[in-house]
Amino acid sequence: MTISASAIAFLFPGQGSQAVGMGKELAEKYPIARQTFDEADEALGIKLSRLCFEGPEEHLRLTEITQPAILTTSVAAWRVLNEKGLKPSFVAGHSLGEYSAHVAAGTLSFADAVRTVRNRGKYMQEAVPVGVGAMAAILGMDLEKVTAVCQDAAQGEVCEPANINSPEQIVISGHAAAVERATKLADERGAKRAKMLSVSAPFHCALMKPAQDRLAADLHSLSFRRPEIPVACNVDAAIVEDADASRDALVRQVTGSVKWDSSMRLLMAKGVQTFVEVGPGKVLRGLMRQIDRSMTCQNVDAEASLQKTLEHFTSVGA
């Protein structure tokens, strides 16, 4: 039985949502989830499943492991939901999560996606020497003011808004000294809080251009299909509905900012009132509360959250 797709969007998490044990429960209970992890192990030639289920955490935190691990866990959860008959009318993913969204939309094969994001992680890590770049979270300051802070702090270096997550939270990225100057300026200009983040590279800024160029070559070698489900892409906060636009958006998002707040408002304008975060953690569910508390937001990362989500849709008669 298919549950109606009216006004449902599936959201797929990005880097930072990883945790040892992710996907283990679903893989033990649902053959389709176990199969997903087996496919990833085969595609990558490593025991990614063991790293997800057992760690160690320091290995799971390596960007080139983190990215395929989160993608695989997210696709496993999506496939279980799909088997249960819950299908969305739109999909979106935060940065890395956009690859999970495209797997769900049928744009990219899972094997191609999991290999590509391992390389994506590797390229991002190698683009900037450790210590040269940094990221910081600016809380309680609007985009216009954050952009001005970045411009004033840059002093010839790179400093840019990287993740425009919600009205409450914007992450900035660039050269370490410029980002440190920006956090001090943000504090002085009335931000609720400005704090440096513990990240391995300055994602979503101009410093990632070498990674973007390498990834573009990989993406152009892959077969992309027209998405079967409309995908809200990060870099434009727009719907992509053809193969070339999907590929182009994935290339540009490496140096472009993640327009998450605008992407969610776009989906609301399309009539979405119920969002399901599919994959590890509850980061996107938390951001939705900051964007619009009136929206319904579920999440699926293990058996309990899966059952709760399915019960929700049964109770509302979806």
Q: Which of 17, 95, 166, 305 is catalytic?
A: 95
Q: What angle do CA 74, 229, 303 make, to 5 degrees?
A: 30
Name residue, tokens 């008959």. 85
200 noted as active-site residue: no
What does the alpha-carbon distance between residue 253 and residue 204 come to, in Å, rounded to a whole number?
7
Count Cβ neighbours within 10 Å for each residue of 40-57 and write b for 16 or more, e otherwise: bbebbeeebbebbbeeee
DSSP state of 281: S
Question: How big is the CA angle at 141 (ends 135 and 147), to the nearest 5 degrees?
Answer: 60
Helix (H) or strand (E) holding 309, with range, is: helix 303-315
Among candidate residues 102, 166, 204, 246, the one labeled active-site is 204
Between the alpha carbon of residue 121 and those of residues 155, 214, 245, 282, 293, the distances in Å are 29, 11, 22, 22, 33
Active site residue 305: no
- Active-site residue list: 95, 204
